[in-house]
Chains A and B, each alone.
Chain A
Amino acid sequence: MKFLNTLQNTKFSSLALLDISYIVVLLPLLLMLKIPMLFFVGVIIAILIFKSTPLKSIGILFIFMLGMLALYLSLYGAFSFRGLSRLKLFLELLVYILIIVVAMQRLTREINFYLLISPFLFLALSLFFYYGMLMLIYIIFELFLLLWMILSHRMGGDIKEGFASSMVMFMYSLPWVVVLFIFFPRISFEHANYGFRGETIQRMGHDGTMYLDSNALLVPSERIVMEVGFEKEIPPAHTLYFRGSILYIDKKDHWEGLAINAKRETKPFYATTGLPIKYQVTLYPTQKKWLYALDMPSKNIKNSILDRDLISTVEKSIKEPLHYSANSSLSAKFYDILDEETFKASSTFESDHNPRTYTKAQKLQKSYPDIEKRAKALKHFFKAQNLTYTLKPDALDINHTTDSFLFDTRRGYCVHFASSFVTMARMAGIPARIVTGYKADFINGLKNYLPVKEKDAHAWAELYINDYWVRFEATATASFVEEDNQEVHSSSFLSKEVNLYLMYVKYQVETWILHYSHIRQLQLLEYAKNNPTFVAIFVMSLITLLLLTFVIISYFKRPYYSSKTLATMQALLKRLKKEKYLREDEETLHQYLIRYAYKHPKKTLIYDIDKLYEHIIYANENSKNKQKELKILIKKFLKE
């Protein structure tokens, strides 16, 4: 506290204020500097700390040479014409040069124009390297701090006054920033691809193959794979199937999709029936090509291919967080006329791999000639097997996986259920395939926000019944669920809730600020056109922001008084001023009040106020009671 008080009263030199600015703007850039350049920066800081006099020309020359050496070592190898054409390298080079120039200038201990504007150049350059929520917060902090330092410089190094003034100015500009951000016309250029990713860790949970043995991709992690924002509320829990890849080929220990060169008919997909829904997805890097859309996708996602199995893929693996809008019709089935290749792929099975299952399936086929009833019977059969859903299944006999699961171990998770279900369905004469993707947990959602986690990775079956591919949740046939599976990471309800709200806020900020675009701007305007309530809420929000701004400005613009007592007296002094009774130059407060009292003999309270004020100030009787008494007296006087 004492330190803060001292700090408040310290007048900072212009160089000190400039140094603070440089520290703040350079901090994010230091994270991207190569070791030689970091060493150079370290040397400069050491010189500044230990040498309080300006560096001579020879010293400056040495620093220049050292800087050039650091630059050369930092960019060694990347330094070619080809390299320079890469914007990021070019910008890195600019940062290095700027650091060297600033260092040389700073060591002269003289402020010049270039030294003053360089913090802004560093700030502008840092925007090329960083992008994300953290940078958003930091950039606002940087802008505020630079403003603070400029104003403190203008105020003779008074950082306390500088802070109050910069708060006022910052608040003046805030409503403008908000309005400009929302309404400033955007064009639909693509979002730049360079910049700090922030999310370099690969998300897992689904990789286009499905292993049944110890290679099975089981990731019971809470890490977010994608975040989904619906236009309204989250759809019902039983519809939250995010389609990833389709697996047709049973390779005993794992399932695969069709080969790329499979001769399938290139039919357009058929529109699906069901509740239409629109949503925004932020997909984190998966290093795979699949995009995920709710069952069943009804429209092509921009810059992706939607195939006849309603699977969306992009050309290149996803290495950056990807944002896309998707449209689906919430339905568990979709119409399709199978071509020969697809029919063959979805009907193939090896009866000798799982003879026991085959026998049972044949029985079902004979007992239920109607394909729909047969599929239901298949479900009943699974239920009757008393299967247990567990994340710690016993090892299956890899040559007879379905037999092993259905009749021996009877323990498994989604992949075992889906694999066995599809195998048996094919054996029973129903074309079937496995769909892998994510089954989002409704409980994880908040309002219109639904995070999908790695542990939500899922596999389910699709059976071809009467010209429709119909989703079958094979896992639902489990008779038992092992309790320890329900919560992989135990954490308190409160922390979960808090975490969820934080994620929700982060998502909203990312959606409405970081990824606010031309499309979203148009959507907003379109929505506003048809929704007067929204317009009213929007206008009210702006008014609230203005009021808040006004309150904050008033707070920071309030005059400072040297004592509490003087602050209390201000109400009285304002009244006297209002009565056009002005205090004269070099007149004490006591003289002023007495002068007023002479002119207004009826207002005797002024004597009491004067007496009490003098008592508090000069007799050092600054107790709470005395202050209260003074306040009461002033209030009484004002009421008179």
Chain B
Amino acid sequence: MKSLVKFIQIHRSIKQHATRFSLVVVVLLFGLFMEAYMHDFNLVYITLFFVFSLAFSAGPIGVLNLGNLQVKFNKQGRIFSGKETEILFNIENPMTTSSWSITLHSKDNTSTTLPQIKGESSNNVLLPFLAHKRGTFSYGNCYLESKYPLSTARLTKAINEVYEGIVYPQPKGKPLDTFLNEQETHYGEEKEFDGLREYDGSQKISHIHWASVAKGEMSVKVFTKETKIHNLTFSYNKLKGDKESKLSQLCLWVLECEKKRLPFAIELPQKQLNSKKESIDEILEHLAKY
């Protein structure tokens, strides 16, 4: 009884659509029926009943194959505007039997076919996603589809969960080093020599290691205290360009600072952001929603 109730619940969560093979089955059944009925051909009757019963039993088998699957979204890194990324789905099969021939469809008609989902296991599936705008977004209206077992019906199961995410501004603009060069006076003290590194055009000319230039290599001197800056501040108002390019620039610097583990502050009109007080994600979120 429990199983029946469960099956009814599962059945309700599934939508069935006819396929062209449904039409084939109907035509085949009609043809066989006419042949069997008109000529009292028991072999045809047997074939007719087998085709009918198989098509009939394909329904519940297909429903159980798809209906038991449970889908949830998994957080998958940061999403930046204009940059192709992927949404991670976790598809769990709580049954003891495998599920076959499942396709995951997104709202924007991208799809991916899943391999066998073994019983009592789960599969992670990635769907490509491209956000065109920064800000919050909802990723929903996804569904699972299957034509298992006979292709006579296309079964779909809507994924009710909606992925609520944030699209950060597209990180682009001047590299942080260029910015730092421009901010030389505020750039801390040079103390202990820490070694040489390849010159990439962004370093101060005074740091060029001329001895290496003589050898044909272009290196610059690096000092340990060089990067220790107490007052690295990015000002929104001082940046050139429109709002989106300013936010993109800030986003790039935030990420570079995170990479270099530099503390920083951002001055937004009517808002101050500080990496010592807020996490990088919170800062990025502010930029996304600004």
Chain A interface residues toward B at CB < 8 A = 113, 117, 120, 123-124, 127-128, 130-131, 135-136, 139-140, 143, 147, 150-151, 154-156, 158, 161, 165, 168-170, 172-174, 176-177, 180-181, 184, 186-192, 195, 513-518, 557, 559, 585
Q: State which of B32, B46, B98 has its C-beta within 8 Å of the C-beta of A161.
A: B98
Min CB gap B83→A, angstroms: 29
Interface centre among B41, B97, B115, B150 (most CB of A within 10 A): B41
B97:A559 contact, CB within 8 angstroms = yes
Within 8 A of A (CB), among B20-58: 20-21, 24, 28, 31-32, 35, 37-47, 49-54, 56-58
Within 8 A of A (CB), among B197-250: none
Which residues does chain A contribute within 8 Å of B42, judged by CB atoms?
181, 513-516
Which residue on B lies nearest to A570, using beta carbons? Answer: B96
- With A136-B46, A172-B61 known as contacts, the answer to whether A186 contacts B97 (CB < 8 A) is no
Secondary structure class of chain B's binding surface, majority of residues? helix
B43:A136 contact, CB within 8 angstroms = yes
Q: State which of B39, B47, B50 has its C-beta within 8 Å of the C-beta of A124.
A: B47
Assembled-state Cα–Cα distance A169/B58 (Å) = 8
Within 8 A of A (CB), among B48-84: 49-54, 56-58, 61
- With A176-B53, A559-B119 known as contacts, the answer to whether A191 contacts B40 (CB < 8 A) is yes
- With A172-B61, A514-B43 known as contacts, the answer to whether A143 contacts B37 (CB < 8 A) is no
Assembled-state Cα–Cα distance A143/B51 (Å) = 8
A557:B100 contact, CB within 8 angstroms = no
Q: State which of B37, B57, B115 has its C-beta within 8 Å of the C-beta of A173.
A: B57
A127:B149 contact, CB within 8 angstroms = no
- With A117-B24, A120-B28, A172-B57 known as contacts, the answer to whether A143 contacts B50 (CB < 8 A) is yes
Min CB gap A150→B, angstroms: 6
A154:B101 contact, CB within 8 angstroms = yes
Interface centre among A165, A169, A173 (most CB of B within 10 A): A173
Secondary structure class of chain A's binding surface, majority of residues? helix
Which residues does chain B contribute within 8 Å of A113, judged by CB atoms?
20
Which residues does chain B contribute within 8 Å of A559, judged by CB atoms?
96-97, 119
B46:A191 contact, CB within 8 angstroms = no
Min CB gap B88→A, angstroms: 14
- With A113-B20, A165-B149, A169-B149 known as contacts, the answer to whether A139 contacts B43 (CB < 8 A) is yes
Which residues does chain B contribute within 8 Å of A170, judged by CB atoms?
54
B57:A155 contact, CB within 8 angstroms = no
Assembled-state Cα–Cα distance A188/B39 (Å) = 9
Which residues does chain B contribute within 8 Å of A195, judged by CB atoms?
41
B147 at interface, CB cutoff 8 A: yes
Assembled-state Cα–Cα distance A557/B65 (Å) = 13
B100:A184 contact, CB within 8 angstroms = no
Which residues does chain A contribute within 8 Å of B115, judged by CB atoms?
156
Which residues does chain A contribute within 8 Å of B61, judged by CB atoms?
168-169, 172
Which residue on B lies nearest to A154, using beta carbons? Answer: B101
B54:A173 contact, CB within 8 angstroms = yes
Which residues does chain A contribute within 8 Å of B51, judged by CB atoms?
143
Which residues does chain B contribute within 8 Å of A180, judged by CB atoms?
49, 52-53
Assembled-state Cα–Cα distance A514/B45 (Å) = 10
Chain B interfacial residues counted at CB < 8 A? 42
Which residues does chain B contribute within 8 Å of A120, judged by CB atoms?
24, 28
- With A120-B28, A139-B46, A192-B41 known as contacts, the answer to whether A155 contacts B54 (CB < 8 A) is no
B116 at interface, CB cutoff 8 A: yes
Min CB gap A142→B, angstroms: 9
Q: Mark B109-120, 1 if CB is under 8 A from A, else 0.
A: 000000110010
B168 at interface, CB cutoff 8 A: no
Min CB gap A557→B, angstroms: 6
B148 at interface, CB cutoff 8 A: yes
Assembled-state Cα–Cα distance A174/B96 (Å) = 24
Assembled-state Cα–Cα distance A124/B32 (Å) = 7
Q: State which of A151, A191, A514 has its C-beta within 8 Å of the C-beta of B39.
A: A191
B56:A189 contact, CB within 8 angstroms = no
Assembled-state Cα–Cα distance A154/B53 (Å) = 19
Which residues does chain A contribute within 8 Å of B122, judged by CB atoms?
585
Assembled-state Cα–Cα distance A161/B39 (Å) = 38
A150:B47 contact, CB within 8 angstroms = no
Which residues does chain A contribute within 8 Å of B41, judged by CB atoms?
127, 131, 191-192, 195
What are 13 A-B contacts with C-beta separation under 8 Å?
A: A124-B35, A127-B43, A127-B47, A139-B46, A143-B47, A150-B151, A155-B116, A156-B100, A161-B98, A169-B58, A177-B46, A513-B42, A518-B40
Within 8 A of A (CB), among B104-158: 115-116, 119, 122, 147-151
A140:B46 contact, CB within 8 angstroms = yes
User: Told that A136-B43, A173-B50 touch, could you supply 10 new A-B pairs with CB distance under 8 A?
Assistant: A117-B24, A124-B31, A150-B151, A154-B149, A156-B100, A161-B98, A169-B57, A177-B46, A191-B39, A516-B42
B49:A189 contact, CB within 8 angstroms = no
Assembled-state Cα–Cα distance A213/B234 (Å) = 128
Which residues does chain B contribute within 8 Å of A192, judged by CB atoms?
38-41
Which residues does chain B contribute within 8 Å of A123, judged by CB atoms?
47
Which residue on B lies nearest to A188, using beta carbons? Answer: B40
Min CB gap B135→A, angstroms: 33
Which residue on A lies nearest to B146, using beta carbons? Answer: A154
Which residues does chain B contribute within 8 Å of A186, judged by CB atoms?
37, 40
Assembled-state Cα–Cα distance A593/B148 (Å) = 37
A127:B96 contact, CB within 8 angstroms = no
Which residues does chain B contribute within 8 Å of A176, judged by CB atoms?
49, 52-53, 56-57
Assembled-state Cα–Cα distance A123/B122 (Å) = 40
Assembled-state Cα–Cα distance A585/B24 (Å) = 44
Which residues does chain A contribute within 8 Å of B32, judged by CB atoms?
124
A127:B45 contact, CB within 8 angstroms = no
Q: Mark B82-98, 1 if CB is under 8 A from A, else 0.
A: 00000000000000111
Min CB gap A636→B, angstroms: 25
B100:A189 contact, CB within 8 angstroms = no
Assembled-state Cα–Cα distance A514/B43 (Å) = 7
Q: Which 4 A-B pairs have the closest CB atoms?
A: A173-B53, A192-B39, A176-B53, A172-B57
Which residues does chain A contribute within 8 Å of B119, judged by CB atoms?
559
Which residues does chain A contribute within 8 Å of B96, judged by CB atoms?
557, 559
- With A139-B47, A165-B149 known as contacts, the answer to whether A189 contacts B57 (CB < 8 A) is no
Which residue on B lies nearest to A515, using beta carbons? Answer: B42
Min CB gap B6→A, angstroms: 17
Which residues does chain B contribute within 8 Å of A517, judged by CB atoms?
40
Interface centre among B31, B37, B54, B100 (most CB of A within 10 A): B54
B149:A150 contact, CB within 8 angstroms = yes
A124:B28 contact, CB within 8 angstroms = yes
Assembled-state Cα–Cα distance A130/B44 (Å) = 11
Which residue on B lies nearest to A513, using beta carbons? Answer: B42
Interface centre among A170, A176, A513 (most CB of B within 10 A): A176
